[in-house]
A and B are shown apart, each in its own frame.
Chain A
């Protein structure tokens, strides 16, 4: 990538964009091969895994470029219906979860909520939490997205609940202390660098929100708190 567009860009953006090219090629080739009729089931399954894995890597590369540009990016905060946004995410990520033998669902709500956020950044946060949960959740269980109002309705919490091994107190404290500022291994999982969570915390900061984690007896919930929109109360 030698064009003038790279002039003056942080090296991480250049690196992330460079990374996208081979990942794009891998994805295009595997998607094409997936459509070949003569393949046996196991070959199709492997190709599907290659496609889905390259998509996950592409999302991460794209998030990296976005996170570096937060300071100079012109992004707008607007009232958003989180239910609709999360439904779209569930639809997009269900093939990935299914391929891993996991379920993925949005917990239904009776009443609509509105929050103030940037649609793209919020989507990326929930995608990152979901990716994180996918690595951790037990096979044949489901990851759940939950939406609720807290703080007397002034704050909307979007949480991604996984059902996996219990977090040890030490690991939980470590995550709590480091969530907003550092990339630390999450859940003692060797496959997680915590990069996705770190990026999510940056995105939340940019929207005047914050991320956190709640420990349960049978898993954990990574959440983002954002300001509720006053629009509904004005109606």
Chain B
């Protein structure tokens, strides 16, 4: 059985490491990248099942990546979990058309919430 692969796009390397720690505990394979620009390559090079995405990244924001993901048939179906401190500014209704299935509030979530979110959004 194929191991579920999670792409973590997070520019805080220690927080990304923490996410890897949590997801590995639940048996998920993880790939980490720190920018939207490198994320597309990471999606192409790995068979990604779920994307964990921070909003404020170095360079272009998560929104440009979401647009790009939606522009291809194969990447547009990958479920995205936004993991951000900007929850106040976002609504899931506005982001659903961009493949966003869940929004996690970084400032309130407990570590295992990440794994629960992945489990919830998997097809």
Collect the chain B residues with CB atoms within 8 Å of residue A1's CB: 56
Collect the chain A residues with CB atoms within 8 Å of residue B55's CB: 3, 5
**Is A62 part of the contact surface with B, judged by Cβ < 8 Å?**
yes
**Is A67 part of the contact surface with B, judged by Cβ < 8 Å?**
no
0 or 1 for each of A27-64: is its CB under 8 Å from B? (1 = yes): 11101100100000000000000000001001000100
Most chain B CB within 10 A, of A28, A31, A62, is at A28
Main secondary structure of the interface of B (DSSP, over half): loop
Closest chain B residue to A23, Cβ basis: B107
**Is B59 part of the contact surface with A, judged by Cβ < 8 Å?**
yes
**Is B15 part of the contact surface with A, judged by Cβ < 8 Å?**
yes
Interface residues of B in 100-114 (CB under 8 A from A): 106-108, 110-111
**Is A193 part of the contact surface with B, judged by Cβ < 8 Å?**
no
Contact (Cβ within 8 A) B56 A17: yes
Main secondary structure of the interface of A (DSSP, over half): helix
**Is B67 part of the contact surface with A, judged by Cβ < 8 Å?**
no
Collect the chain B residues with CB atoms within 8 Å of residue A17's CB: 56, 85-86
* Residue among A5, A25, A55, A58 making CB contact with B15, cutoff 8 Å: A25
Interface residues of B in 12-48 (CB under 8 A from A): 12, 14-15, 18, 21-22
Interface residues of A in 139-187 (CB under 8 A from B): none
0 or 1 for each of A1-23: is its CB under 8 Å from B? (1 = yes): 11111100000000001001101
Distance (whole angstroms) from the CB of B55 to the closest CB of chain A: 7
Contact count A vs B, C-beta below 8 Å:
55
**Is B71 part of the contact surface with A, judged by Cβ < 8 Å?**
no
Distance (whole angstroms) from the CB of B27 to the closest CB of chain A: 17
In the assembled complex, the Cα of A28 lies from the Cα of B88 at a distance in Å of 20
Closest chain B residue to A51, Cβ basis: B110
Given contacts A4-B61, A24-B15, A32-B18, contact A65 B106 (CB under 8 A): no
Given contacts A29-B18, A32-B18, contact A3 B86 (CB under 8 A): no
Distance (whole angstroms) from the CB of B44 to the closest CB of chain A: 23
Given contacts A17-B85, A21-B85, A27-B107, contact A5 B18 (CB under 8 A): no
0 or 1 for each of A75-86: is its CB under 8 Å from B? (1 = yes): 000000000000
In the assembled complex, the Cα of A62 lies from the Cα of B85 at a distance in Å of 9
Chain A positions within 8 Å of B, measured between CB atoms, are 1-6, 17, 20-21, 23-25, 27-29, 31-32, 35, 55, 58, 62, 65-66
Please name 7 pairs of A and B residues whose Cβ atoms are closer than 8 Å in the assembled complex, sorted by A: A21-B12, A24-B85, A25-B14, A28-B18, A31-B110, A35-B111, A65-B88
